[in-house]
Every structure is written in structure tokens, then in C-alpha cells.
Amino acid sequence: MTLALISHPDCSLHQTVSYHPETAERLTAIHDQLLASGLEMILHQYQAPLVTREQLQRVHDSNYLDDIFHKLDDQEQAWLDADTLMMQGTLAAARRAAGAVVEAVELVMQDRHQIAFCAVRPPGHHAERDKAMGFCLFNNIAVGAAHALQQWGVSKLAVIDFDAHFGNGTEQMFADNEQVMICSCFQHPFYPGCGQPSYDGHIINVPLAAGAGGAELKAGVEQHWLPALEKFEPELILISAGFDGHREDDMSELELVEEDYAWLSEQIKAVADRYAGGRIVSVLEGGYALSALGRSVVAHLKALLG
């Protein structure tokens, strides 16, 4: 089994203000932990391409894309919402982040690798069809899912989202598409103020209360996610991998640790092995406590590799 790591130096061009938690140092922390763990030596590394306008338009509104592509034509920076800042390097970073997921889908669907991890920023799962929010410009995971559906003819895929914050944009984009099962867990009530419990159909939302840890996560996954995934039998699994539920991360009030992310990744891998030929694309979302982020990514990837 081989694992592809997809990233690009442009992802560090997206500079934010000094007090902003979503920084280029996040990718450095991941790289440092991959090196220290020895994982970097066995990864197959790829440069993320720039996503195309056509690929973005599968999930984003055309007028929204016009606005984002030309937002900085006559200014140095722009706040897209209270949390989401666009600087001169942001568009290139966001296009690489979305392009990485398209490339990852290509790699696993061509059977060049079973697993691909996209170490990219800015994150994506809050971005809606026509709105940037929550640090996100383009919905990276949705762009990759739409590519798999349209370019590869995948009939059933699952998006697994374990960020501490609900992936509102991803749910919006696929709420009416039963080819896509979305399994998510997140702190609730919490930003972005939505994400209701849903335990049937193709949207499986498992809210977690502040203070919840591994036991609560395990119960939700075993009771709700796994039975739904077994019934659905996905041909491809995409992961919105957010690590801001770690107990060291002050961006949430969850109490997860590396072992919890490893256990969860093992469950996802088992489903992928049974139904998807082992094909998994994992994409970085949140995670802002740098040491915890790096350690958690290593635990996640080791579990996916088995």
C-alpha cells in the first residue's frame, strides 16, 4: 500500500494577520512531524496543480468565482467575512488547495496510490456555493467529490468530516445528491451555528457536546456512521480531516487525542477496504495547535496505512 502526499509552496503564500489562527506554520508543523516520525521517507510527494475554472464551477456559482478571481484587482487585501481574509497570495493558495484534491482523486482512481493526503491551506468545508466563510474560499472536498462523480463516473462516494466545526458548505452542495453520503461529527452548538442531528438518509450528522472526548466519538461512529456506511457501500471515501477537536486546541471545547483520530481512521480504512478498493482521499481542514496538529496527522496517516 502506498500513500501520496500532495501539497504546494503556494499554500504558504496565503498570509493572514498576526492574530489569525490559520497560518502557514500549520503546514510546517505537519512536515516537521512527518519527518520526525519517519513517514516522510515512505510518502510519494506531488505538487498540487492549479484548479481550473471548470472544476470549480461544478460546485461554485459563476458570479462568486468572478468576484473571488478579481477581488484584489484594485486593493491589497479584502475581508470576505469576519474570519476570512484575502491577501495577494491567497488566490494562488486556494487554487492549489482545491487542485490538490482533484489530483488526489486522479491518483487513487488511476490506482497509482490507494491513499492520498492533501496537506493544503486555506481549508474548504465552510465555503458555500456563493459565499466564503470560516477561513474557506473554495470548498476543496466538494470540488474533489464533484470531479470523482463527473470525470470518473463514481456512482456512490462518502465524505467523512471530523472537524470540530460543522462542514456547512459541503452539506449545502450535496444535500440533494444521494450519490454522496456525508458522515460528520462536530461540536454543537458551535460555529457556524448549524448542523442538526441526522441519523438516516444520506446525511449522517453526529453532534458532540462541549467536553466530549473519545468515548462519545466512538459511540456516535459505531451507532450511526458505520451502519450507514455499510448499507451505502461507497466506491470512494473522501475525508475532511480537521484536528481542531484535539484537547490542546483552543478552537473548540472537545477532548480528543491522537489515539482517537487513529481509531477513527482505522474504522474509515476498514470500510474503504471492503467497498472502495481501499481508495481514500484525505484533505486537511482545521487544526491550530501546531504540535497537536502535527502529531494527529501522523496518527491519522499511520492508521490509514495500517
**Catalytic residue positions?**
126
Q: Which amino acid is at 286?
A: G
As given in the structure block, the three cell numbers for residue 210 are 462541549
Q: Which of helix, strand or coil describes residue 116? A: strand
How, if at all, do strands 3-7 and 115-118 pair?
A: parallel
Q: Length of the chain in residues, anyone?
A: 306
Specify the residue for cell string 475581508. Answer: 79
Cβ atoms of 301 and 264 within 8 Å: the answer is no
Q: How far apart are CA 160 and CA 240, in angstroms?
A: 6
**C-alpha to C-alpha distance for 6 and 121, rounded to whole angstroms:** 11
Spell out the residues 6+ positions from residue 18 whose beta carbon is closer than 8 angstroms to its own: none
> Any idea which residue has 442531528 for its cell?
197
- Radius of gyration of the chain measured on its C-alpha atoms: 17
255/246 Cα distance (integer angstroms): 6
Residue 55 gets the label, from left (phi > 0), alpha (psi -120 to 50) or beta, of: alpha
Residue 131 grid cell: 459565499
Q: Which helix (H) or strand (E) holds 183?
A: strand 180-187
Compute how many other C-beta atoms are within 10 angstroms of the C-beta atom of residue 54: 9
Alpha carbons 299 and 306: distance in angstroms, whole number? 11
Beta strands in 18-136 (DSSP E): 44-47, 78-79, 85-86, 115-118
